[in-house]
Amino acid sequence: MSAVRKRGTGVKEEDETLCCCEYLNRRGERSHVAACCCDCEDLDEACDRLFKNEPQKPETLSRVADVVTDRLRVPWLWGGARKVELSVVPPLVILPALLHLAALHLLLGVLVLTALPGLLLWYYYFTHRKKGRTLFFLSLALFSLVYMYYLFISEVVPRGGIGQAQVALVSVGVLLTLAALVLTKREPGTVGPDQELVHSTVTYYSLSSDTENKDVTVTGRAESPDDRRSWCSTCRVVRPPRAGHCRICGVCVLRLDHHCVWINSCVGQRNHRSFLATLVLFLATSVYGISLVLRSVCPGQNLATALLYCPGVYDQYSSALCFTCSWYCTIVTAGLLHLLLVQLVNISCNVTEREARIALREKTARTSCWGLIVDTGVYSQGFYGNWAEFMTMADKQNPKSATNLV
């Protein structure tokens, strides 16, 4: 079979309507999902060298990976087949497999639930060091939420003892968490060029390209304290105060807090409130769901100690699976609870995570409570003033930036 391609026509490929199973490959040629294993010269060359016991070329594996990534698609009704990001797939397979394995025995559960956070941290630092974007953590977060809800409906509810009102409350919590996540993913607030400044008589002197963060002196008018701003040589814009450049997303974000791998996006001025709401809704739903599961699989036990002592829970596989998922949710909840606590402290001090890291690195911050509270003292307006600014900052008009005119 040969790949379905459109050649030698005067009609542009982009102007033709693609069926649900067709797509334009990375070479701009028309192809079909059924031809995923056809005409793969790179794979043929790699296999030929393997059979001949010859060393592989350094670029062979990367080219094979590019071909596989380009051809791994699912049919789509509008605009042809859509590409599937490879980093989305592992959580869909690994998480259920590990949880079912951990439910077989107590020792297996301890081993899996201990190794899982370590593997996640290793993969996080591996991808963070390369400054690359990955959908692995977002896929894991979404699938964990959906899969835990599925097990709650299919395994816990049929055991009895859980009313319709409690099921409805958990369902509403899951839906609200997903809605808040969608709002968080929409727009963090990127720095864009201001056309009024671009076409004005104000001159912005460009800086050397070998640096990323320098000050820019504005001439042509009286200099104000806001005139000295940070210059981004990558985006070629003058950043407003508290804005920062994300090397993973490749954009400058207003009041950049941090890049969150769990949402695969930055947290900035426009989405910081919805990010905080997502954390609160998830934690409330998770804690309530864990309490319902433990009350079902560990009847008569105190909820405060049921995770540590639940006799007979491994006698039935269904109970063991629910108990294991409770422990998994507890670990995730503990991590996000720490994140929420850090966020609340930073908001109360009017400090972003990025500013806190810079101040700690430069040793200009005041710390307390074993480093949990980091106060730079630069933007703080008092507790109530800081929270008032946080609750209204997303509604403010985004300040624009002048582009490089030289």
Which residues are known to be catalytic? 260
Amino acid (1-letter code) at residue 60: T
Contact 339, 279 (CB under 8 A): yes
Residue 162 to residue 269: CA distance in whole angstroms: 41
Amino acid (1-letter code) at residue 277: A
Amino acid (1-letter code) at residue 14: E
Contact 292, 166 (CB under 8 A): yes
> SS3 for 5?
coil
Exposure string (b/e) for 85-99, b if CB count within 10 Å is 16 or more? eebbeebeeebeebb
DSSP string, 304-367: TTTTT--TTTTSSHHHHHHHHHHHHHHHHHHHHHHHHHHHHHHHHHT--HHHHHHHHHHT-SEE
Count Cα neighbours of 389 within 13 Å in the Cβ-side half-sphere.
17
